[in-house]
Structure 1
Amino acid sequence: MVRHLFDTCRRERLVAIETTSPPRLDRRQRLILFVLLGAGFMLSVDFSILNVALPEVGAGVGLEDARLAWIASAYALPAAGFTLVFGRMADLFGRRRLFMSGMVVLTGASLLGGLASNPEMLLTARALQGLATAMTIPAGLSLLTTTFAEGALRERALGLNGALLSGGFTVGALIGGALVGSLSWRAAFFINVPVAVAILLLTPALISESRMPDRIRLDLPGAVTVTGGLLAATYAITEKNAVAAVAGVVLLAAFWVIELRSPAPLAPVRILKRPTVKWGNYAGLVIFTMEPAMIFLTTLYLQRTLGLSPLATGLVFGVPGLASVVAGVIAGRFIGRFGGRTVLVAGLTVQGLATLPLVFLGDGLIALAILIPALFVGFFGHVTAIVAYTVTGTSGLPDEEQGLATGLTSMTQQVAITIGIPILSAVAATQSGELTGLHLALTVNVAVTLASALLIWLGLHSRGEQPVTVTPVSPSKKSDEQLTAP
């Protein structure tokens, strides 16, 4: 009798351990993750890898200082403007096909940039890198969400994806400083080529092509107006151009009208009205507007105010960047246990509160004792919020609309990264002193982030909508999102 009770308890304990243990990936799934996440990581590195070496790059091709900002803008404009269209094209014409096409474009762009001998070649290469990002990121993310079903496995995959995407921005600064210091800025372009070629060779063997709809239709008027509108609006913000701003507003308004009337809309309004899609993408806008802008302003502070070298600047961001990896690994488990809304708001709140100490930075090296721990905590919250917003914005939708959903989240990310830096830089420029300007810009950063966290909490709660989550203990239970989704 005692032995029987012992065996029963032992079996129940083993079952409990199995049901609560984190999901396991098989060998093929790990390889698919390696390919898809490797591509996303490389592209996120590309965005920031040249930021710590802009003077050296400009001098190398004869680009005057007043146009150095275009090294970032030439990349960001196509990345922001074309992402939504390419995300939908991935649904219609094949996700693997578009993913591999983006890798081909990236390979050519990286070779062109590494061989650039004048400003035109360099900026063309950066624009093509941005175009490759617009093609690859939504296609790769939709391949990820359709490979891994909603639940613990997808949350784990998206956690790793968020860690690598965010980590890429900080690692890019570290790699950029190291490459420029030891080799040349051209190595920042050439390093992409072998990685892209390896991805092109592995992808056909690991990933099958997505099933395409029987009747392929692309909403061309919608594609033209949304792309033109996003390009114009992004250009208006980066260059402070009123004419472009008006054009952007008119084109985006025309896009909305077209989508209401189109029989096959590029972005169905019913999807855009879903609370999870609407508030998830708003969260992504805040997450990626505020944090990269903070990193940019802090980079200038480290080099101009504290006098650090590009390599030392990269190390300041690279060491705390390890928190990104940790957050990405465990964020999916947080979502499975506490729910997407709670994790999203908590991550965004941590991101904002960790920026608060930076408002009081001084002009001495002792400031690093405040800055580095704050960056560590902030990166942890930042990546946790990235994972939660990606899960929020892509959950509860059928596979045939995953390209659109991931296109929306990717577009939000690219637009936010592009507009955040000029907006907070303009806020900082209103002050006469550089340090005073930094303090004001970071104060605005904290206020917007924390206020948005409250709005998102109320917005997702008001309709009873939460991201889909499947806990390891009760995989049969459906979330509120699944039960209430139209």
Structure 2
Amino acid sequence: MTSLHQSSAAGGDIASRGGVGDGTSRSLRIGGRERLILAVLLTAGFTLAVDFSILNVALPTIGADVGFSLSGLQWIATAFSLCAAGFTLFFGRIADLFGRRRLFLAGVAVLGIASLIGGLAGTPWVLIVARVAQGLATAAVTPAALSLLTTSFPEGPVRDKVLGLNGALMAAGFTTGAVLGGVLTDLLSWRWAFFINVVVAVAVLALAPVVLAESRPGDRPKVDVPGAVTVSLALLAVVYGLTQAGERSWGSPHAYGALIAGAGLLVAFWAIEKRVPQPLVPMRVLRRRTVGWGNVAGLAAFATETSVVFLLTLYLQKVLGYSPLAAGLSFAVLGVGTVVGGILGPRVIGAVGGKNALVGGLLVQAAATIPLIFLGDRPGWIAVLLAATFAGGIANLVAIVGFMVTATSGLPDDEQGLATGLATMSQQVGITMGIPIMSAVATARIHALGGPTAHTVLSGISTALILNTAVCVVAAVLLAVFLRPSGRLRATA
């Protein structure tokens, strides 16, 4: 495959200012045009991150207004997450082949239309169709936006800074969604959780064609249709199995049957990719330790921190008696921590290297989670929660920035869509899998103690947080042993 022709003036301007691409310059200055690029891409990414959680608090209200049964409410979230995680790798590769800006604009347009339909929905099936379309738009826009970032800003300190901002806003978006969903539902209507996307989509579509440069391949190789179908079905099965495990139990045929099917399809995908002439995911890319282990780190980072938010939401409401809105507002401190971590991440990478930033971030995140294991039922424990989530948010974002830099570095421009598609897939699967796994652990402990009471819920949460901490530590140890970065990803201090 020939390299994509990059016509981005932003990349050229940065490179001409002193060799940022090879890491010889320490300037982190970003010019006016680049700021517009960032504004467009980061706004879109933040909005998509908000969509993962903005409806969670509003689900009972939506069910009553639109006519969902209690068991059907889960599909408002599941329909979105299935499509967002299931098709992201496919769309990431499509962005490489047919143009990143083109896919980005098309995805934003679909997001706006789907959000308008969702906000006006009066029946369950219309709302579910809108959520499916939102999920597909997310699967298209997220890797396209991330690859536009990595190709507009050459590899080096400037790209690290940009990825830090992107990671901070993506993580903060998940937390903001929980808060914003409660505020909009209480003050206006849950429908505004959809309508906000329409406003953002119109603004992005007005600016993006002016500030974003297209990248096109010199030729258009055939799309690996068997590989695309197989991996999409595999991811759909895995995500569905994980969500069913959280909703039902790990012993449910819906859960383990889907997970077994997903594993089988992933094996089939691997076999297909080794045989087709132009694979969707070239095996040489997966054999890069920075890509493979970088994505393991991303999976762990997103799975652990988003599940901490879920577990602490249960703690605040079921143990301390907070309202949904008050519980959501309590995570504002975590949101501040993620922003701080996103800003510090590039500096940490510059000082100690990408690998050490990843390992250190996960270990500090584990250390910050340990005090949460010992939370009690007295109101004063909220101070411990706020301090620990702030520290954990900083550490988690340092790890996430390290993951993004590691998983997308050292690859040519024509594989950036693939790399960012893999990174986005890790992010979205991590968000999806963390909550049902930790929920299943907490639920099993609660049932073992005789049923849900404030005491048993607290015990279940503590048990799940022990596992959460262990995942961070194990991931850090594996990365310390097996990740072998090269070049500037090594420590420079």
Q: TM-score, normalised by structure 2?
A: 0.89
State the Cα distance separating 1:212 from its structure 2 match: 1.6
Q: What SS is found at the alignment partner of 1:365?
A: coil
**Contact 2:88-2:421 within 8 A present in 1 as well:** yes
Matches of residues 76-475 of structure 1 in structure 2 within 5 Å? 76-240=81-245, 241=254, 242-432=256-446, 433-460=456-483, 464-466=484-486, 468-469=488-489
State the Cα distance separating 1:356 from its structure 2 match: 1.1
Aligned to 1:5: none
Bigger drift between 429-438 and 57-66 goes to 57-66
State the Cα distance separating 1:204 from its structure 2 match: 0.7
Aligned to 2:250: none
> What letter matches 1:162 in structure 2?
G
Seen in structure 2, the aligned counterparts of structure 1 residues 194 and 231 have a Cα distance that, compared at 3 Å, is same
**Contact 1:339-1:466 within 8 A present in 2 as well:** no
Seen in structure 2, the aligned counterparts of structure 1 residues 84 and 213 have a Cα distance that, compared at 3 Å, is farther
**Contact 2:318-2:457 within 8 A present in 1 as well:** no
Distance across 2 between alignment mates of 1:420 and 1:159: 22
**Contact 2:316-2:322 within 8 A present in 1 as well:** yes
Distance across 2 between alignment mates of 1:237 and 1:189: 26
Q: What SS is found at the alignment partner of 1:117?
A: coil
Distance across 2 between alignment mates of 1:244 and 1:319: 37
Distance across 2 between alignment mates of 1:99 and 1:131: 12
**Contact 1:396-1:468 within 8 A present in 2 as well:** no
Distance across 2 between alignment mates of 1:338 and 1:292: 26
Deviations 1:166-215 (A, max 9, x none): 00011111211211111111111111111111101111100111122313
Q: What SS is found at the alignment partner of 1:214?
A: coil
Seen in structure 2, the aligned counterparts of structure 1 residues 328 and 467 have a Cα distance that, compared at 3 Å, is farther
Structure 1 unmatched runs, 5+ = 1-14, 472-478, 480-486
State the Cα distance separating 1:22 from its structure 2 match: 4.3
Q: What SS is found at the alignment partner of 1:51?
A: coil
State the Cα distance separating 1:20 from its structure 2 match: 7.9
> What letter matches 2:203 in structure 1?
A
Structure 1 outlier segments of 4+, above 6 Å: none
Aligned to 1:484: none
State the Cα distance separating 1:336 from its structure 2 match: 1.4
Seen in structure 2, the aligned counterparts of structure 1 residues 391 and 450 have a Cα distance that, compared at 3 Å, is same
Aligned to 1:6: none
Distance across 2 between alignment mates of 1:311 and 1:22: 42
Distance across 1 between alignment mates of 2:372 and 2:62: 29
Distance across 2 between alignment mates of 1:213 and 1:440: 54
State the Cα distance separating 1:310 from its structure 2 match: 2.3
Distance across 1 between alignment mates of 2:417 and 2:261: 27
Aligned to 1:8: none
State the Cα distance separating 1:404 from its structure 2 match: 0.1
Distance across 2 between alignment mates of 1:467 and 1:331: 18
State the Cα distance separating 1:330 from its structure 2 match: 2.3
Q: What SS is found at the alignment partner of 1:191?
A: helix
**Contact 1:391-1:467 within 8 A present in 2 as well:** no
Seen in structure 2, the aligned counterparts of structure 1 residues 237 and 391 have a Cα distance that, compared at 3 Å, is same
Query: What root-mean-square deviation, in Å, do the aligned CA atoms of Structure 1 and Structure 2 show?
Result: 1.7
1:69 aligned to 2:74?
Answer: yes
Structure 2 unmatched runs, 5+ = 1-17, 19-23, 246-253, 447-455
Seen in structure 2, the aligned counterparts of structure 1 residues 44 and 467 have a Cα distance that, compared at 3 Å, is farther
State the Cα distance separating 1:470 from its structure 2 match: 9.7
**Contact 2:352-2:490 within 8 A present in 1 as well:** no
> What letter matches 1:459 in structure 2?
F
Q: Determine which structure has more spread, i.e. the larger CA radius of gyration.
A: 1
State the Cα distance separating 1:297 from its structure 2 match: 1.7
Deviations 1:290-312 (A, max 9, x none): 11111112112212222212221
Distance across 2 between alignment mates of 1:216 and 1:180: 47
> What letter matches 1:256 in structure 2?
W
**Contact 1:152-1:336 within 8 A present in 2 as well:** yes
**Contact 2:114-2:133 within 8 A present in 1 as well:** yes
Q: Percent identity?
A: 56
State the Cα distance separating 1:155 from its structure 2 match: 0.3
Q: TM-score, normalised by structure 1?
A: 0.90
- Paired residues, what number? 452
